Amino acid sequence: MVFDYQNTFDEVRDGKPTVAILPIGATEREGDHLPVGASTLVLETVSRQIAEGLGEPTYLLPVMPFGTSGSFVGSAGTISLSWSTLMDVITDLVESLARQGITRIVVIDSLGGAGGSMIRPGENYIVKTAVRQMNYDHPELDVLWVQPFTAAARDLKVIMDFPKDDAHAGELTTSLLMHLAPDLVQSNAQDHVPPIGKTALDWVPFAALCPDGVWGHPSRATADKGKLAIAAAVKQTIAYIQESFAYLSQAKQRA
Amino acid sequence: MRFTNYCNTSSQIRERNPEIAVFGIGAIEQHSYHLPLGTDWLAVAEITRRVAEKLGAFLVPALPFSMSECHGPMPGTVWLKPKTLAAVITDVVNSLQAQGINRIILVNGHGGNFVLEAMIRELNLARPSLQLVMPSGELVISVEEPIFETGHLEVHAGEGETSFHLAFNAEHVKTDKSVDYVPPVGREFLDYAYMSFISESGVWGCPSRATVAKGETALDAEVRSICQEAELVFKFLDEQSASRAAATTRS
């Protein structure tokens, strides 16, 4: 059973959700062929499917439409929060969930991808610290973070042609949008992989490395890959959440 | 006039070159038994979409969360602290100015966001090129016939909010579950106690008086009012800039 912003407070009260999900999207340049709200659009579907598949009463929050998109600031359509603002947003929302007795909370951090890491998020890096701090400040809570397409990295390596090169507005995100909202996808995308690692994004704006706003192979995108990728991401994320909560319950010796 | 939003690509937005951005602040909070938790967010998203459409502006995705702590831990309610909300809006303003948009219409969808006036003033006074305005939406409504019979009694989930919601999200309004209640204290008492201490149902007003017709009239009036007010303010600010520039040239 999933509760969301269309429910009334008494429906949530009576439904007693045992887990809450906070998805963090983005509004940022996605090449010149994808909508600036691509991450938000994907997460609306993916977070709902995850909520529906968890098998317990779940409170699904709306997708936070902004993350840390500093690499794209200045480009049309980009809205970026500073890391401290995003950390405070997550902190406040988690605390307000704790205050109403929801003690298991999952932050679904943007999309991730085949080249991502389960240890350090590729987008909204500060989510890792925000979640860690929440668990310290609130010992009664179990707060997790997960990037759904990173959880499905193994599947993506089979589904995609260029999994490792894919960082932004590339094969994955273009495939996802082709599946979910094809009328929002333009056909002008050029493949591009800069001759430098992603660490360079700590030093220069994205456009300095990728003038057209693409890091990957959008020309290889297909709607079918998008469909398969979503199914894998939902399945693997649900498994990660369930296994993680089960482990933590035991490790922290909860009743 | 076509507006741009999060469904457009960056280059489509750049080609449109919007001079104005519209940004709504929503909330996820109890709205008693008859209105959904997302009432403020859904309403402000609808209003800002219509305003952006009228003005050919860039529509920023509406912020779902704001200062809803006044409803305390009534289930489903989540909130941002005042400084967090102010930081989000500042970052949004910074992002818009960085892409060359200096005229921003902020539409407040939740009455409890009392940090907004303070931060808007500070930002505008510190940044001469910024024109950040938060129209009250009452310019037109106060001049015409009052649309709501009990508007003056309403603080939350009353005739006004319920009518608005009937106008565009009627399937999620549970009219038969609504309760009328007006507490015997002023609304400043929300500075002293959670809503749940003052009104168990979470209502402060008379939702039983709500109608679709009132909602449609009010929605229309509010959109017109916001657009008119914003345009008047922008014109005033342009005149201010011009006379400052002329004074500088003379001196």
The pTM assigned to this predicted structure is 0.96
Q: What residues have CB less than 8 Å from A233, skipping those under 6 apart?
A: A46, A148, A149, A151, A152
Q: Does residue B128 lie in a domain region? A: yes
Condensed to tens digits (0 to 9), the pLDDT of residues A23-39 reads 999 999 999 999 999 99
Q: Determine the Cα–Cα distance for residues B84 and B73; give it in Å rounded to an integer.
A: 18
8 Å CB contact of B37 and A76: no
Q: Please give the residue of chain A at the shortest CA–CA distance from B5.
A: A77
Tell me the residue type at B34. H
Of B10, B60, B88, the CB nearest to A32: B10
Q: What is the ipTM of this complex?
A: 0.97
Q: Does residue B30 lie in a domain region? A: yes
The DSSP symbol for B202 reads S
What's the confidence (pLDDT) of residue B141? 52
Q: Does residue B196 lie in a domain region? A: yes
Per-state percent for chain B, helix, strand, coil, to nearest 5:
50, 10, 35
User: Residue B96 sits in which domain range?
Assistant: 10-222
Strands A142-146 and B20-25: unpaired
8 Å CB contact of A96 and B37: no
Residue B176 burial class via C-beta count within 10 angstroms: exposed 0-12, middle 13-18, buried 19 and up: exposed
Residue with tokens 């831990």, as numbered in its chain: B73
Q: Please give the residue of chain A at the shortest CA–CA distance from B9.
A: A35
What's the confidence (pLDDT) of residue A188? 82
Low-confidence ranges of chain A (pLDDT < 70): 255
What's the confidence (pLDDT) of residue B241? 87
Q: Does residue B109 lie in a domain region? A: yes
Number of domains in chain A: 1
What's the confidence (pLDDT) of residue A51? 98
**CATH code for the domain of A20:** 3.40.50.10310
Q: Determine the Cα–Cα distance for residues B83 and A73; give it in Å rounded to an integer.
A: 22
**CATH code for the domain of B142:** 3.40.50.10310
A27 to chain B: which residues are within 8 Å by CB? 6, 60-61
Condensed to tens digits (0 to 9), the pLDDT of residues B132-181 reads 999 986 655 555 678 999 999 999 999 999 999 999 999 999 999 999 99
Q: Does residue B55 lie in a domain region? A: yes
What's the confidence (pLDDT) of residue B248? 84
Tell me the residue type at A14. D
Low-confidence ranges of chain B (pLDDT < 70): 1, 137-144, 251
A5 to chain B: which residues are within 8 Å by CB? 28, 36-38, 41-42, 64
| SS3 track for B145-199 | CCCCCCHHHCCECCHHHHHHHHHHHHHHCCHHHCCCECCCCCHHHHHCCCHHHHC
What's the confidence (pLDDT) of residue B244? 85
What's the confidence (pLDDT) of residue B145? 77
What's the confidence (pLDDT) of residue B251? 66
- 3-class SS at B107? strand
User: Residue A157 sits in which domain range?
Assistant: 2-251
Q: Does residue B2 lie in a domain region? A: no
Of B58, B68, B98, the CB nearest to A74: B98
Number of domains in chain B: 1
8 Å CB contact of A13 and B76: yes
What's the confidence (pLDDT) of residue A88? 98
Q: Does residue B195 lie in a domain region? A: yes
The DSSP symbol for B93 reads H
The DSSP symbol for A63 reads P
Tell me the residue type at A33. H
Q: Give long-range contacts, CB 8 A cutoff, 24+ apart: B150-156.
A: B150/B205, B150/B206, B150/B209, B153/B182, B153/B205, B153/B206, B154/B204, B154/B205, B154/B206, B155/B111, B155/B187, B155/B190, B155/B204, B155/B205, B156/B31, B156/B32, B156/B111, B156/B195, B156/B199, B156/B202, B156/B203, B156/B204, B156/B205
